């Protein structure tokens, strides 16, 4: 459960994806993020914001083709195999997410990013409903709250961003965060 609560790393790739719908996030993109914001933290959930969430209501735009049942025609950005390998080798990443239909880009034939991340026990978050105004590159936790499922390979998840306390630059422990979240949920449902 603790791996579902991680430190947010938001990588803004909207400009690159707007120029190339088959863009693949590269090692250089993550190294550039580190140059600007410091090292990827331990227990990170790396989110790639390609600006695709705004296309979700239009399947033709979202999948890059009017023939959404034909995966060979998909055109949307994703994570390169080399980028996935680099993230995995940091040993710091719990999860990787995207606002597209897949971690791998639409034209993939080998699903390299999926395979690399899976081999390193790094979960995928796909179809994220990222806001039109980009989230900050860091400074908050991400809670990935899946439904209880057994023997599944995937399922719906509610992803919640919780900013760090203003008086603290450190991450609240996952257990404390979970307690706060559960308490807040209980308060919503208790009648006064």
Q: Residue for token digits 């994220």?
A: 128
pLDDT digits (tens, 9 = 90+) for 98-108: 999 999 999 99
User: Residue 69 pLDDT > 90, yes or no?
Assistant: yes
User: What pLDDT digit, counting tens, does each position of 29-62 carry?
Assistant: 999 999 999 999 999 999 999 999 999 999 999 9
Please give the Cα distance from 103 to 153 (Å, whole number). Answer: 14
Name the average pLDDT for the chain.
89
CATH of segment(s) 2-189? 3.50.30.50
CA distances in angstroms from 91 to 6, 16, 44, 51, 68, listed in the order given:
13, 26, 10, 27, 36
């Amino acid at each position: 459960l603790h791996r579902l609560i991680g430190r947010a790393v938001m990588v803004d790739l909207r400009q690159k994806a707007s120029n190339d719908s088959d863009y693949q996030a590269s090692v250089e993109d993550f190294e550039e993020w580190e140059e600007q914001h410091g090292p990827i933290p331990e227990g990170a959930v790396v989110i790639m914001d390609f600006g695709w969430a705004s296309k979700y209501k239009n399947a033709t735009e979202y999948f890059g083709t009017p023939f959404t049942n034909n995966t060979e025609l998909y055109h949307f950005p994703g994570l390169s195999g080399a980028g996935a390998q680099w993230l995995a080798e940091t040993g710091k990443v719990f999860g990787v997410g995207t606002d597209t239909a897949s971690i791998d880009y639409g034209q993939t034939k080998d699903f390299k990013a999926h395979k690399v991340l899976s081999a390193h026990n790094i979960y995928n978050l796909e179809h994220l409903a990222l806001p039109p105004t980009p989230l900050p590159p860091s400074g908050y936790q991400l809670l990935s709250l899946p439904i209880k499922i057994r023997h599944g390979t995937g399922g719906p998840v509610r992803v919640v961003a919780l900013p760090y306390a203003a008086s603290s630059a450190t991450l609240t422990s996952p257990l404390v965060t979970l307690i706060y979240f559960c308490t807040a949920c209980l308060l919503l449902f208790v009648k006064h």
